[in-house]
Every structure is written in C-alpha cells, then in structure tokens.
Amino acid sequence: MRTVQRTVAAPDELGSGMIGIPAGSDLELDLRLEAVMEGVLVSGSIHGEAVGECVRCLDRVVEPVDATVQELYVYPERAEAAVDSGDDEDEDVRELEGDLVDLEPALRDAVVPALPFRPLCRPDCPGLCPQCGERLADDPDHTHDTIDPRWAALGGLLGPDDEKRES
C-alpha cells in the first residue's frame, strides 16, 4: 500500500458547458494505491476549483470541487483472461500500462458528476429581466410599463391631443 499526494494540471474539457475545471488549473490528488490479487486499487479524493456561469444571470461562478475516486486497474494477464472467458461485465476494465496508471478517465468519471448541474452565483439569484436583459440583482425595483395586449389596439385610437391630456 502506498499513499500519494500530488498536485497535477487539469486535463482539457473537464466539465460541462456551464461549468468545469479550466484546463491546466491545479487539481490536488490524495490517493491510496493498494496491491490486490487482480491488480492495483486506486482510491482517494480529488480537490479543485470549477469555473463557470450562473444559469440565471450569466455572472462568473467559482465552486470548490471535492470528489472521491475508486478504481481497480487490473494486470494485463487478468484482463486477457476475462476477455477469453467471455465475461461481459469486464468490458470497462482499466488495465495497468506497465507500472503506470492512467488516471484521466477515472478522474473524469469522478469529477464531472460532482459538478453542479445548474450553477448559481448565489441561491437567491433573481436572474435577468426577460424583456431587456438587465441584471435584476443590480436593480431590485426594475419594472417595465406593460400594456395588456387585449387593450393595446385601443391605444391607436388616441389622437395627439388625447395623449397630452393623459399625461
């Protein structure tokens, strides 16, 4: 058994369209590598910082990401034996590459589901005005004078003199 603590650069496209961990930013890995009969069991935690946009107001959102990973990397002989036996359950088995472990697929499988599905800058974000696009958080009293569409046609009946009296 061996414990490993490393800071690595995040791979490209680690996230969704709204939020993700920027490529090259720091990911802290705290891993435990254990030799087992089938291969090497890698378990531990991943810490990083995701950057994205609020789904309501499109402001920048920065979220801490804490994910756990547990993945078995089998010896190549074990993987071949599973294929030869026709075991369908072992299709997604990860193999050791010599003495190396390719953590990127396991890292993606752990981090992407841990990201918020609908990131918000704050839980009570009011979003944008649907008519003009102004941020409602900047102006809480923001309103528009709207005319009921059923009465809008009557507005054309007013003449220039009537509009002055109305004001």
> Average pLDDT for residues 55-77, to the nearest whole number?
92
Would you call 55 helix, strand, or coil by DSSP? coil
Q: Which pTM was predicted?
A: 0.71
> Average pLDDT for residues 61-81, to the nearest whole number?
87
Give 153 or 130, the one with higher predicted confidence: 130
Q: Which two tokens stand for residue 110?
A: 């752990």
Contact 42, 32 (CB under 8 A): yes
Residue 86 has pLDDT above 70, yes or no: no
Contact 41, 7 (CB under 8 A): no
